């Protein structure tokens, strides 16, 4: 489990010499690769593995492994807009599956809305595009959960090995 900071590319090498995941895990004894991606400006939970079958199962939409994000958008999002996310929105590459959306906070003083959104798809920049579609572009985005795993007590740029119990739960979530 790796806490990817904002401003890091989700790759093991970058031709543009930007900071990459490899910069954080170069001292690991085995070669690992990222399971899926988080865009350059998104932070949060990212799995690194050397198990190709597990990685494929976790990322394939047919396995419906949930991913939860903490989203901060400018403005006060009306419930009907959050409901659009809950029903699914039309994107240029087709409609999204319904999302689970939980409102965390309206900050009227500073003018933003904070909510969790859970999806099982993994399209490129999907959460950002969904929020754009309802007229509230993302200011901050952080993946806080992937399947049964939660990003907690792990600092930005840090990683840790998963326990056998966590691996078992992850395999079960991926239907392996």
Active-site residues: which are they? 39
Contact by Cβ (8 Å): 2, 49: no
Name the token pair of 34.
């990222």
Q: Return d(Cα 21, Cα 25) in angstroms, integer.
A: 7
Q: Return d(Cα 64, Cα 102) in angstroms, integer.
A: 19
Name the token pair of 152.
């907690």
* Strand, helix or coil for residue 74: strand
Q: Return d(Cα 118, Cα 85) in angstroms, integer.
A: 10
Q: Return d(Cα 81, Cα 89) in angstroms, integer.
A: 10
Name the token pair of 63.
């396995």
Q: Count of alpha carbons within 13 Å of 92, Cβ hemisphere only? A: 4
């Amino acid at each position: 489990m790796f806490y990817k900071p904002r401003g890091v590319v989700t790759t093991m090498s970058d031709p543009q010499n930007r900071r990459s995941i490899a910069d954080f895990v170069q001292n690991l004894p085995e070669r690992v690769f990222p399971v899926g991606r988080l865009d350059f400006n998104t932070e949060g939970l990212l799995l690194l593995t050397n198990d190709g079958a597990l990685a494929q199962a976790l990322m394939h939409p047919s396995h419906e492994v949930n991913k939860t994000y903490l989203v901060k958008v400018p403005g006060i999002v009306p419930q009907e807009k959050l409901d659009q996310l809950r029903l699914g929105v039309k994107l240029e590459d087709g409609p999204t599956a319904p999302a689970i959306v939980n409102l965390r906070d309206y900050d009227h003083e500073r003018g933003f809305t904070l909510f969790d959104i859970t999806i099982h798809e993994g399209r490129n920049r999907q959460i950002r595009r969904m929020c754009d579609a309802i007229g509230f572009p993302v200011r901050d985005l952080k993946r806080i959960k992937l399947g049964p795993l939660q990003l907690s007590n792990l600092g930005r740029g840090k990683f840790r090995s998963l326990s056998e119990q966590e691996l078992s739960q992850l395999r079960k979530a991926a239907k392996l």
